[in-house]
Amino acid sequence: MRPHRGCISPTYTAQMEIVMSLIDKALKANQAYAKKHDRKLGARPTPKIAVVTCMDPRLSDLPGILGLPHADLDVIRTGGPAVTEDVLAELVVSTRVLGTTEIMLLNHTGCGFTTFTDDELNAKLTALTGDGSPAPMRFFSYRDPEQNTREQIKKVRSHPWIAKEVPVRGFIFDVETGVITEVREIPKNAAA
Ligand SMILES: [Zn+2]
């Protein structure tokens, strides 16, 4: 009745089981969490700063990394991070609807998105699955975090719906040292 079952590799099945067991564990833990949940968190949030950062788990402790409370952070995470049209829309909502007043673009060293090119990953996944129909999929892979950050600043800064008074600043988090370094925009007279 399930002709495709044989196509699922044992590794994939094992991975599915691991994922399922973690979710089940999380559901159980949530029952305990809900008992001591702070009901005030149900109120409308008033974040003060929008932070765009990578989905990499090493960037998850933003209150620790930035010394700002959870409640102040409107966190937008993608791989890279990639500043996609969706991210731009979220930044517009963050600044215009939620009321954040600063935008921080937080890249990092050792990003997984520097370990392949979009072309390579498209080819690899097409070969792996035998189905190239989603290609070319845009993964926003990149080589140089500094260059990536500069392009992001430009992209966000030039959006007509993001107010000029909102500072847009880019940084790189060093995953080894924990230090954040600001990436300066290229001076206007420098070659692009
Ligand atoms: Zn990353």
Q: pLDDT tens digits, residue range 55-114?
A: 999 999 999 999 999 999 999 999 999 999 999 999 999 999 999 999 999 999 999 999
- What's the predicted TM-score (pTM) here? 0.84
CA–centroid distance, 81 to ligand 1, in Å, is 6
φ, ψ of residue 114 to 5 degrees: the values are -100, 0
Give residue 150 CA to ligand 1 midpoint distance, Å: 16
Mean of per-residue pLDDT scores for the chain: 90
Bridge partners, 173 (sequence order) = 108, 180
Let me know: does 48 contact 72? Beta carbons within 8 Å: yes
Distance 145 CA to ligand 1 centre (A): 10
User: Which has the closest alpha carbon to 128: 2, 3, 9?
Assistant: 9
pLDDT > 90 in the chain, percent:
80
Of the two residues 189 and 110, the one the predictor is more confident about is: 110
C-alpha of residue 54 to centroid of ligand 1, in Å: 5
